[in-house]
Amino acid sequence: MQWRALVLGLVLLRLGLHGVLWLVFGLGPSMGFYQRFPLSFGFQRLRSPDGPASPASGPVGRPGGLSGPSWLQPPGTGATQSPRKVPRRPEPGVCGPAHWGYVLGGRDRGPDEYEKRYSGAFPPQLRAQMRDLARGMFVFGYDNYMAHAFPQDELNPIHCRGRGPDRGDPSNLNINDVLGNYSLTLVDALDTLAVMGNSSEFQKAVKLVINTVSFDKDSTVQVFEATIRVLGSLLSAHRIITDSKQPFGDMTIKDYDNELLYMAHDLAVRLLPAFENTKTGIPYPRVNLKTGVPPDTNNETCTAGAGSLLVEFGILSRLLGDSTFEWVARRAVKALWNLRSNDTGLLGNVVNIQTGHWVGKQSGLGAGLDSFYEYLLKSYILFGEKEDLEMFNAAYQSIQNYLRRGREACNEGEGDPPLYVNVNMFSGQLMNTWIDSLQAFFPGLQVLIGDVEDAICLHAFYYAIWKRYGALPERYNWQLQAPDVLFYPLRPELVESTYLLYQATKNPFYLHVGMDILQSLEKYTKVKCGYATLHHVIDKSTEDRMESFFLSETCKYLYLLFDEDNPVHKSGTRYMFTTEGHIVSVDEHLRELPWKEFFSEEGGQDQGGKSVHRPKPHELKVINSSSNCNRVPDERRYSLPLKSIYMRQIDQMVGLI
Ligand code: DMJ
């Protein structure tokens, strides 16, 4: 009897092991819908490395250097590894269904047909169940924040307490860069409430923000974090409130007098000192909201931090009719852009704002650079300024030339599947063998430009890592096939890309990915009063922190993935997401330059050759206090139809959404 039980046990163990291997190394069951969506990607493709990775040392990346995956080799060193040409963008008018057809392999099929065909692969009831699970996730986190943490910045979900800046340790930048003592989580979550159609809570939350949040605080925060999490959210909520169409339900606020816009202006003015007294025009990374740039401040900033302020600052400028904010943000982008390597066209990840010297020469798609690229494209989508698109296109080509390794096509040909690695900005040489979890946003950006096939592939790589750990480690070493940095702070990037790829392809594969992510978040991160950071993706221990982007991004993208009829994709208005996931409608009004009557676009001269006044850094405050602040957005402008030329541009850029 015992003997039989032993044999049965061994058989079951073997079957279980097979199941685990299949889940870890494959991308999931071979169901019908994969037949038209042939993705075969898993870690088994990698050859075992001969030895441990040696980051940034030795001949890594040189032809004939270390053996291992072909990602170690620079582009152009193997028969199948020439630098990839950026695929031709769909022509205006070819976007949409025809392009979707192309993505899925049948040129003549529109998304509806695919939806019909695959609807059985993810039943509508299951979709509704997942949508409710995502909403429940948000509500649990939000309610607990309101009950245990508000008015503090963040929720400590394990001990059910609030968290504010670490006054005892000003060098604790992990906390102090983000937490400004301004009810961060509530502010950051505003538009998620609207997207989920919760008008009563949205109205309550907006009033609470108006009545209780102040920026007159002795807090030294990172300019970038304050911009994307707070400024961006205030502007997004303001636009939702003042939208004459109200697609999310009644999100109007009784007697609303543009208070959120004024608050955004107040915050932005407090951030402006970061742009003064900098020799390059690249801003200081941190300011004190009361006193300006601290005397002992650091002159080094990361590229993404300094160069991804243009969307929020540009929106603010265009709503107020005050060029100052856009001007300083644009000046920073251009200053960084001009410092790119002449040889590779790449930028590094850390720069000295006074000397323009690159302190960090690593060029990649993750930490330090991610949203820099994202905002070149998104600024163009929003404002229609051609130079932003030109910079983006050039950057994208350099990325293809130097960062992309592996074979040319996603799912066929010899060699390893493509991967984007970290290289030295000047030489293009590989600097290390890890990628970080922030880089998982990139497939979403590729969807926006129509490079969907490559997006599918990179997303699959990240999903394979997720499947292995039930989360994304902060850094994953692709040579060792193991995490380098083990925490997962509930980041949204993989969900964001999953959502955008689902919108582009309508392939239910992405719903399965979303379900998988939802379920592992529930399983490993849900704690007594919210969702906790995973301290260790392998042993699944947790940390007592729930970052505000969990509510503003992770939950929002998960919800939108399953909420097929959400106004974000069904109302007829085109929405763009800021890097913090805040929705902004793409409309004509934001493509106007309300200050054109005062300043010409090109340096110092108007079109008639007359010299005109340009704002100089030392004049910034004067310009602001002479204030355009009272100039409120003209409601009539909102109802103008988009000009067809802009429509075409938008189609070209966001036609897939
Ligand atoms: C968010 O604050 C934003 O998405 C930002 O662009 C990157 N980091 C976090 C999420 O991981």
Convert the pLDDT of each residue in 93-104 to its tens digit: 222 222 222 222
Per-residue pLDDT at 167 exceeds 60: yes
Q: Which of 154, 370, 374, 454 does the annotation list as catalytic?
A: 370
- At 458 the pLDDT is 95
Q: Catalytic residue at 474?
A: yes
Per-residue pLDDT at 199 exceeds 50: yes
Asked if residue 622 lies in contact with residue 607, where contact means CB atoms within 8 angstroms, the answer is: no
Q: pLDDT averaged over the chain?
A: 81
269 Cα to the center of ligand 1, angstroms: 23
Convert the pLDDT of each residue in 418-474 to its tens digit: 999 999 999 999 999 999 999 999 999 999 999 998 999 999 999 999 999 999 999
178 Cα to the center of ligand 1, angstroms: 11
Rg (CA), the chain: 25
Per-residue pLDDT at 106 exceeds 50: no
155 DSSP β-pair partners: 162, 546
- At 8 the pLDDT is 62
Per-residue pLDDT at 355 exceeds 60: yes
Which H or E run contains 135?
helix 124-148
d(CA 478, CA 49): 10
| Interval 606-626 mean pLDDT | 38
Asked if residue 621 lies in contact with residue 614, where contact means CB atoms within 8 angstroms, the answer is: no
- At 359 the pLDDT is 98
Question: By C-alpha distance, which of 322, 327, 403, 304 is closest to 363?
Answer: 403
- At 594 the pLDDT is 86
d(CA 533, CA 488): 6
Per-residue pLDDT at 65 exceeds 60: no
- At 30 the pLDDT is 28
Mutate to test the pocket of ligand 1, among 223, 373, 438 (most ligand atoms within 8 A of CB): 438
Per-residue pLDDT at 333 exceeds 60: yes
Q: Does ligand 1 have an atom closer than 6 angstroms to the CB of 506?
A: no
d(CA 536, CA 489): 10
| Interval 139-164 mean pLDDT | 98
- At 14 the pLDDT is 56
174 Cα to the center of ligand 1, angstroms: 13
Convert the pLDDT of each residue in 10-21 to its tens digit: 556 555 554 444
Residue nearest to atom 11 of ligand 1 (CA): 491
Asked if residue 454 lies in contact with residue 35, where contact means CB atoms within 8 angstroms, the answer is: no
| 153, 178, 331, 487, 623 from 272: Cα distances, Å | 22, 17, 13, 34, 12
- Residue 390 has a CB neighbour count (10 Å cut-off) of 12
225 Cα nearest atom in ligand 1: 2
- At 24 the pLDDT is 39
List b or e across 161-180, with b for residues whose CB sees 16 or more CB atoms inside 10 angstroms: ebbbbeeeeeeeeeebbbbb
Q: Which of 188, 225, 243, 544 does the annotation list as catalytic?
A: 225
Q: Which of 416, 474, 547, 553 does the annotation list as catalytic?
A: 474
Q: Does ligand 1 have an atom closer than 6 angstroms to the CB of 549?
A: yes
- At 29 the pLDDT is 29
579 marked among binding-site residues: yes
- At 550 the pLDDT is 98
374 Cα nearest atom in ligand 1: 6
Convert the pLDDT of each residue in 453-466 to its tens digit: 899 999 999 999 99
Convert the pLDDT of each residue in 369-409 to its tens digit: 999 999 999 999 999 999 999 999 999 999 999 999 999 88
Residue with the bigger pLDDT between 233 and 598: it is 233
Per-residue pLDDT at 303 exceeds 90: yes
- Predicted TM-score (pTM) of this structure: 0.81
Per-residue pLDDT at 620 exceeds 60: no
Q: Catalytic residue at 370?
A: yes
Per-residue pLDDT at 115 exceeds 60: no
Q: Does ligand 1 have an atom closer than 6 angstroms to the CB of 582?
A: no
Instruction: Please give the distance of CA 111 from its chain centroid, rounded to a whole number.
Output: 25
Instruction: Please give the distance of CA 108 from its chain centroid, rounded to a whole number.
Output: 32
Sign of CA dihedral 558, 563, 565, 567: negative
560 Cα to the center of ligand 1, angstroms: 18
Q: Catalytic residue at 601?
A: no
570 Cα to the center of ligand 1, angstroms: 26
| Interval 36-45 mean pLDDT | 40
Binned at pLDDT 50, 70 and 90, residue 652 comes out as very low
List b or e across 406-441, with b for residues whose CB sees 16 or more CB atoms inside 10 angstroms: bbbebbeeebbbbbbbbbbbebbbbbbbbbbbbbbb
Binned at pLDDT 50, 70 and 90, residue 74 comes out as confident
Between 394-408, 596-610, 624-638, the lowest mean confidence (pLDDT) is in 624-638
Binned at pLDDT 50, 70 and 90, residue 72 comes out as confident
Q: How far apart, in Å, do the first and last CA atoms of the chain sit?
A: 61
Q: Does ligand 1 have an atom closer than 6 angstroms to the CB of 372?
A: no
Residue 138: partners with Cβ closer than 8 Å, 6 or more residues away:
189, 192, 196, 551, 555, 556, 559
Per-residue pLDDT at 632 exceeds 80: no
Asked if residue 483 lies in contact with residue 473, where contact means CB atoms within 8 angstroms, the answer is: yes
- At 90 the pLDDT is 41
Question: By C-alpha distance, which of 191, 227, 223 is closest to 209?
Answer: 191
Per-residue pLDDT at 261 exceeds 70: yes
Question: By C-alpha distance, which of 261, 274, 275 is closest to 232?
Answer: 261
Binned at pLDDT 50, 70 and 90, residue 358 comes out as very high
Mutate to test the pocket of ligand 1, among 222, 223, 580, 583 (most ligand atoms within 8 A of CB): 580
> What percentage of the chain has pLDDT greater than the value 90?
68
Convert the pLDDT of each residue in 266-301 to its tens digit: 999 999 999 999 999 999 999 999 999 999 999 999
Residue 250: partners with Cβ closer than 8 Å, 6 or more residues away:
199
Residue 206: left (phi > 0), alpha (psi -120 to 50), or beta?
A: alpha
d(CA 459, CA 474): 16
489 Cα nearest atom in ligand 1: 11
Burial of residue 402 (CB within 10 Å: 0-12, 13-18, 19+) is buried
Per-residue pLDDT at 25 exceeds 90: no
Binned at pLDDT 50, 70 and 90, residue 117 comes out as low
437 Cα nearest atom in ligand 1: 11
- At 10 the pLDDT is 58
Greatest CA separation for the chain: 100
Residue-range domains of the chain with CATH: 122-592+627-652 (1.50.10.10)
